[in-house]
Amino acid sequence: MPNDEHREGIGGMINPRRYGIERVAYLLMRLSGLGLLAYFIGHIYETSNILRGQVGWDDFMELISGTEGHIVMSIVIAMCVFHTVNGVRVMLGHGGVGVGKPARPDYPYDPASQNYRHKIGIYSAIVLAAVAMMYGLAVMFGE
């Protein structure tokens, strides 16, 4: 056994295959959150190059103007949109909004909290992120 408490660890936490789209959204929320945090730190570091004057700013613009820069920026756009839309869904859920009402459960016990409203919210977040990403790619590579 890997440890005394037999915990699944990070591997179990990020495994999205067993519990449906809600667990996929849980994983994407964490990945996009970490990605945006990394982007935020990188963004502050890179924009601080403007203190080096015109040369520093041009170097920075060159970095994000290439193909790799555009791809990274489009991924950032997708992460931002997914994190925002899914975040609104999760915040509403955390307040008890849209999670259903307590009632005597009937077999086969479909959980009311995993209802179609939240599933629509998750799929909407994924679709909107994909659309925003494609729009970003079109704008950046279309020039």
Partner 1 sequence: MAQVSSISNEQSPTAKSVTLKISRYNPEHDESSQFMEFPVKYDQLSTFLEAILDVKKHFDHSVAVRYSCRQATCGSCGMIINGKPRLACFTKISELDSNVITVEPMNNFPVIRDLAVKFEKLFDTHQKIKPYLIRDDTELVSDEKEFLQTPEEVEQYIQFANCIKCGLCNSACPTMATDSSFVGPQALAQAYRYVADSRDKGKDSRLKIIDDSHGIWRCHFAGSCSQVCPKGVDPAMGIQLLRGYMLGFRS
User: Which chain residues interact with partner 1 by CB under 8 A?
Assistant: 1, 4-10, 12-14, 17-20, 22-23, 26, 29, 90, 93-97, 99-100, 102-107, 109, 111-114, 118
**For partner 1, the closer CB: 8 or 62:** 8
For residue 2, cis peptide bond before it (omega within 30 degrees of 0): no
Gap between the Cα atoms of 115 and 134, Å rounded: 29
CB 19, min distance to partner 1, A = 4
**For partner 1, the closer CB: 18 or 51:** 18
CB 16, min distance to partner 1, A = 10
Question: CA 63, 68, 45, 32: dihedral to nearest 10 degrees?
Answer: 160
CB 35, min distance to partner 1, A = 17
**For partner 1, the closer CB: 25 or 133:** 25
* Residue 143 half-sphere exposure toward CB, CA atoms < 13 A: 8
